[in-house]
Structure 1
Amino acid sequence: MQSIPLGILLKNENKTNDMIEILEHLQQYVPGARSDAEMEHIHEREDRNPQMRAIPVGGDQLTCERIRGAHMARLDADSQEERLEGLITMVEDFHEKINFLQAMMDRFYKTASAREAGTLYQLRNTINRRNVVKNVSADYHAVGSFIDLVTSAHVIAAALKAFGMSNIEDPCPKIPMFTDQADEGSRKRLLDKIVGDMVDTFFLNSLAVTVNRIEGNENGIEGPVTDDGVYNYATNVTKYGLLRKISVLATRSGDGIRQIRHWKYALLVYDLSHKIKYRLESFLLLAGVNAVFTEKQRHQVIWNRFVNLSGGKDKNLDGDYVMELLNKYAKGRVKLLGPNQTPEVVDRIGKTMMFCHNVNEKLEREIGVHPGGTAHAQRDKTQDIRAVVNQLKNADVFSVISGRRHNSFNEQFDMFHNVDSQVLHKWLNDKKLEYSNGKYAF
């Protein structure tokens, strides 16, 4: 797949007039959309243009909000083109990953918990990750790497507890003798059974209870609600971390279905953390995919969320992350112009930067210049994982001991236990009612 930048417009998204001009510029790429010149020769403008096929335009939450603001400003125009209906908003995933991680840090990361074994801040100090701070935007990659490592360590510690193993090197007592001689299908079924039991024990049972409660099916439901704050904290951290890892892996593999499924859980997370704009963005995306969009638009929104710049398996990136990279590259080129900046030159830089980059790479190969690395060297995380696992084992975080708690945190139940199901259902029903009455649900 080839990425083709469409140029740079010297417009400010914060201004509604500039945002309208940006959308008018982009609408020329919409199939079937009529240009301004064509519209001038139409004496009786029809409200609908059956030839136009609206396409999604992606961005972070703030960009989508500004696009919708531009749509509202043009709501009373005569034709679909003038109402900018050739473009529909599609929230993308990189900035959502930042907000999801921030919601996790807000809930589980406190500097006052330095002496409480098994908390994120105590584990951060154990492995000396000084670049990890509560503000995720300050260093997203450092915080994300730390949370992924801690999540993996929690899974290992839970497995050791479930399988009755004292350390990673011990043989698993739940694996029968001569299993290595069985066929591949049998070994896979055994592995699924063992791992499934562990996941059910520590992570899924309480989550299923909470989801059923949110959906209003409380009658006859019993679940493992414990008063062990340390155990609840550890299982909640793991569940948040696994949801994040699934989202990251979905992006790498280009799995749009799984990425959309992540937004369902994200809606509940943002409701709990009072991130009302991302809660609304979650609803609008899910409503569009499941009800509002046409079949073609739905396919575009689900599968056009990723960009693969270098080719190869599992090298997909979020669309808004690629835009951040292109912005950084373009700003570096524009800065070299100094005072010689003009709209035409800046736009030319935007349209040709990928071509110039490819020419530069080809020239370097021909003259024998060693290509620059495309990946950072990864440090060995084995010792850090072992250190975190030992901390979790010593604190016995995956045993249920009544009355334990972390003094720096309020009592922790399941990750969605505090969702007010009645308030959330009312909010969702109000939004659906707005859509059903032909109104915008924002």
Structure 2
Amino acid sequence: MRNGQTPSDRLEGFISKIEDFHRLMNFLEAIHKQTYSTDSASDRGTLHYYRNLTNARGAKGKVKNAYRDYKMLYNAVLDAICSLIFLKESGMNDLEGDFLFPDDFPNFSSRDKIMWFNDLIRPMIQKYFFDSKTDIFDNTREIVSDQTHPENYWISNLQDGRFKCHHCDKTYAQAGSLQVHEKKIHQVDIPKPRKKKYVPEDELYDYILSVFKLVILHKNLDTAVDMADGPRSVRSASYELPLYNKTNKTKYLIGSIHLAALTKEGTLPCELRETLIANRFVNLQGGRSNNLALDEYVELLNRDSKIV
């Protein structure tokens, strides 16, 4: 828009952002790519098996055409996994068993009850979400956390947006060009490390645990929208980013990096940053947890205007 005659025509000061309803839809679509297959109807424990078992007929075709049906299916499976983890960690065999509360639990205040329950649940989340070795992002995390990793060699000399040669003064706009230069001129050849081949002990257990981790992240963003929790919503982009990368959702990968940069890295002045974080929701009916993402509200207006 640089040829515009006025600042508004040139979009000066325009701050773009990815909105939350479309993030939710694309995030679930990425989860669907990783965890759902129509060929697994007879494989007990898979999403498609439970789709047929619960007769969730609406969950079919593309996620974007049946988002709420797929979300209900995934949330139902997540609830079941959470219940199973709770039973296992509490030493109970079924939902009919007696759970041992503290003797004075009825006298606890509402706040104390919540704190007691959170203290009970926290070790379970730590064990199954954070400490579990089943992780589809192991290779990514290894590269990001290790500055000496061979993958990081080519970007280690990034200066002013250009990649500088490790052996001369030449600079390049692309890391790939630097790699060609050093290989041809300086005979530098750094072989890519072999990816560690993970051999699961129990494929079904690993699959269920992956579903648990991914859907609980989607649920986190979904409830952040319901509660108009802007900070939690923008933080979620950092957790979504690796899955967008793994499922080739480049637009939302870039959008997540952009949103994180605008809200975390001091790219925007404080007032604009706070506006970007907070101005993401609308509440049409009042009350708690009745918020809509702004882009979902626009979709509703589009639908209604077309009907009219």
Structure 1 and Structure 2 fold alike (TM over 0.5): yes
Q: How far apart are the structure 2 equivalents of 1:318 and 1:263? A: 15
- Say which SS state the counterpart of residue 90 (structure 1) adopts: coil
- Say which SS state the counterpart of residue 215 (structure 1) adopts: helix
TM-aligned CA distance change 1:228 to 1:260, over 3 Å:
same
Indicate if the aligned counterparts of 1:109 and 1:134 stay in contact, CA closer than 8 A: no
TM-aligned CA distance change 1:79 to 1:207, over 3 Å:
farther
What amino acid sits opposite 2:144 in the alignment? E
TM-aligned CA distance change 1:120 to 1:188, over 3 Å:
same
Residue in structure 1 matched with residue 188 of structure 2 by the alignment:
none
Once the two structures are superposed, the pairs formed by residues 24-39 of structure 1 within 5 Å of their partners are none
Residue in structure 2 matched with residue 113 of structure 1 by the alignment:
40
Number of equivalences: 254
- Structure 2 residue 127 is the aligned partner of structure 1 residue 152: no
TM-aligned CA distance change 1:203 to 1:179, over 3 Å:
farther
190-199 vs 133-142, which moves further: 190-199
1:295 counterpart (261, 264, 270): 270
Once the two structures are superposed, the pairs formed by residues 210-359 of structure 1 within 5 Å of their partners are 210=138, 213-216=142-145, 227-290=201-264, 291-333=266-308
Q: CA deviation at 1:299?
A: 1.3
Indicate if the aligned counterparts of 1:251 and 1:317 stay in contact, CA closer than 8 A: yes
Higher relative contact order (CA 8 A, sep 6+): 1
Q: What are structure 2's unaligned runs of at least 5 residues? A: 149-197
TM-score, normalised by the number of residues in structure 2 = 0.75
- Say which SS state the counterpart of residue 104 (structure 1) adopts: helix
Q: CA deviation at 1:143?
A: 0.9
- Structure 2 residue 105 is the aligned partner of structure 1 residue 204: no
Q: How far apart are the structure 2 equivalents of 1:330 and 1:233? A: 43
Indicate if the aligned counterparts of 2:238 and 2:260 stay in contact, CA closer than 8 A: yes
1:162 counterpart (82, 89, 93): 89
In the TM superposition, what whole-angstrom CA distance separates every residue of 1:189-232 from its partner, at most 9, and x where no partner exists?
Answer: 5423321222222222137984863531599xxxx995321111
TM-aligned CA distance change 1:192 to 1:85, over 3 Å:
same
What amino acid sits opposite 2:254 in the alignment? L
Q: CA deviation at 1:127?
A: 0.8
Question: Percent of pairs identical after alignment?
Answer: 31
TM-score, normalised by the number of residues in structure 1 = 0.53
Of structures 1 and 2, the larger Rg is shown by 1
Residue in structure 2 matched with residue 85 of structure 1 by the alignment:
12
Residue in structure 1 matched with residue 25 of structure 2 by the alignment:
98
Indicate if the aligned counterparts of 2:58 and 2:69 stay in contact, CA closer than 8 A: yes
Q: CA deviation at 1:130?
A: 1.3
Q: How far apart are the structure 2 equivalents of 1:215 and 1:193? A: 31
Q: How far apart are the structure 2 equivalents of 1:230 and 1:260? A: 32
- Say which SS state the counterpart of residue 288 (structure 2) adopts: coil
Residue in structure 2 matched with residue 140 of structure 1 by the alignment:
67
Indicate if the aligned counterparts of 1:124 and 1:130 stay in contact, CA closer than 8 A: yes
What amino acid sits opposite 2:59 in the alignment? V
State the superposition RMSD in angstroms.
Answer: 2.6
